[in-house]
Structure 1
Amino acid sequence: MRPSTTLFAFLSLLSAVNGELHQLIVGTFGTEHLYTLEFDDSALTLELIGNFTTNAASSWIALSHDKKNLYGTSFTASSPAFVSYTLGSATDIIYNTTLALGGNCSSSKAIFVAAASKSPYAVYGTPFGGSAECGSVMSVDENGVLLEVIQNYTYQSTSGVHGMAMNANNSFIYSADDSANTLWTHSVDSTTGELTYVSSIAGPVTGADPRHVAVHPEGQYLYVILEGANELAQYSIDQATGIPSFENVTYSLIPSGATSSSYWSDEVALSFSNNYLWATSRARSTNSTGYISAFSLESDGSIESQLFLNATSSSGGTANSVAPSPFSDQFVALTDSAVGFVQIWQLGSDGASASVVASVDIEDGGCCANAVWYS
């Protein structure tokens, strides 16, 4: 254990309130809109300031490395496709183009999109449901706009990849294959962004079902949401091969004694300083609540402890997605699709609790999917 963890985290929290305004963009599952929210980190208020009509709902959105472009899934399209927008600001959203995934996954829907943080800034997309064994690599033009699909690659016939994450230097990308209970590792070509298969490993138990993943910037640990097992799992990463290995380290994302089949865990994301990790579970019944949890991390990225497990205010629906703020460890956005809202949760000054400090309802019948912080 690093002795300075608690002190560093406490000082980080004390200095976190900046008295500034921050904007978030939110996608939807079933309505063709992008919403812009504004959070005041001093007054602790959240307001809806923009409603942009799109040509497709986006079940997942991702910002480019410079936040000049926004990429989304075309979730309401009849076959998997991805959309590209230019951002003049968080409320100045300009549609550019839609790219079809192509290949042999025409009976599925686009579910996830991820953008590289380093040149050539390729964008990666996956479908889910039906025939979903494919993935795509998309190039961008000099302005960061989606240009063309440069690679269609395959997982396996039973696959349904629901989340992906790249390591800090963009040399490897990890895919969480919910349908095939598998974690995939691909290496990334530094010139083209295209992928090469490295390995596939089964989930730690039958029905574990990896859903979303995150990689610590030090590159030694991969965090995996096991949707079926309702756990957060820690994997160590071989520094030579990039291949993750299960360490038999897991943490429950539902209360002790809860019926696991009544929940399905969702999302994992690192905080601003990378000292904390956030994770969530959803309830399968709208009469129950999901849960949100945070973990403290050692400097190498290994999990130090689970800090709390709090009930959320609704089931979460198909969301309960967390988006930690890019300016402070204190704040994380939580989205819900059962009711249709975005909440801001604040980590307590002791780091051992969290609570809702601001909320906006967007009850349009499709909101809310995930959120990204523009500022």
Structure 2
Amino acid sequence: MSAPPDARSGPDARSGPGSRLRPADLLPLATVGLRGRRVRTALSTLGIAIGIAAIVAVLGITRSSQSELLTRIDRLGTNLLTVTAGQSMGDEVPLPATAGLGVARTDGVERVAVTAVLTQVHVYRSDRIPHTQTGGLDVRATDEDLLTTLDGHLAAGVFLSAATARYPVAVLGHQAAVQLGVVRPGPGIRVRISGHWFVVAGILAPFELAPELDRAALIGLPAARDVFGYDGHPTRLYIRADTARVAQTVDLLARAVNPAEPPAVQVSRPSDTLTSRLLVADSGTSLFLGLGAVALLVGGVGIANVMVISVLERRAEIGLRRALGATRPHIAGQFLVESLVLATLGGLTGTALGVLITYLTALQRGWPAVVPPGAAGLGLGAALAVGALAGLYPAVRAAGLPPTDALRAV
């Protein structure tokens, strides 16, 4: 007698209407093994979590560092320019005496400050110190516009003025004051500058864009001329340009400083040093992201290994479910979801850990804590992708076990 037209044969003969697996039952079924082997689950999750935490933390710390750097650049301004002699080999070389006047008349220049390092002139705390022990400090003559041009600040005291610039009055840079042991300015506080006593009127706060001023004692141009024979040739100019015309101003400055020999003039923008750090940070980010990806790959291999072992340990369960009517897609779905659950737990844990590391690092270094909105999504998505790939082979292997062979393990 022939079979009815809708009859089925083979291992999946009972995979008809009665062999259904509701989506609501798939997750509890897939997590039976995870709940029964909690230590193994935790260790497998940890592998993924480390990789995701590394990726999220690298992106967060890099973005926080860049945010802090951009804030500093905005605060300090990108329109500060410095002019020196291009042929200098470390020491500042004199510029033409008319350099300051020529720059002041240049289009786009808002403010200019003239300074000059006085050669063979050094500053000491007292007259008891040997002249050879200069401590690497400079004595720099400057006009009264230096502080406003640089948007600088005083840590204490007052800066040079038109009234004090012609007298033996000095203002110390931050590092110079520390090295000389001067903690406060005042009428009774003096330093020795090449055989002459100068009253310390002020101490400057650090200059991030002009570090050469931190290690200098500043005196007025008239005092430098009267006491040390300064000849009026500046060695460095500080310029504030119109922000909208910085590039055009740079092109004009060399000829304004030295019309006879413009190539001998070097114009630089100190903020470019800070900006270059952004490029360095970007290149470093790629390296650390690669290391995070390696850690994530190792975590994926760990999940794949755990899932293969789980399939071998649960052969009897697989055979029994197949015998009761479960289809190959049901078995494959169970183990694939189990792998995805492991990866999701690792992704969520790693994302939270990466965000925490970012905030702690930013708090320690005084940065604004910034976690890119896509970092969490990227981390979780990468974890799910690795989990799916890691669970694919074990799921296919579990689904391919013949019920009769699997039941032999009972």
- TM-score band, normalised by the shorter chain? under 0.3
Structure ranking higher in helix proportion: 2
Structure ID, larger Rg: 2
Q: Which has the higher contact order (CA 8 A, sep 6+)?
A: 2
For normalisation by structure 1, the TM-score amounts to 0.21
Higher strand share: 1
TM-score, normalised by the number of residues in structure 2: 0.19
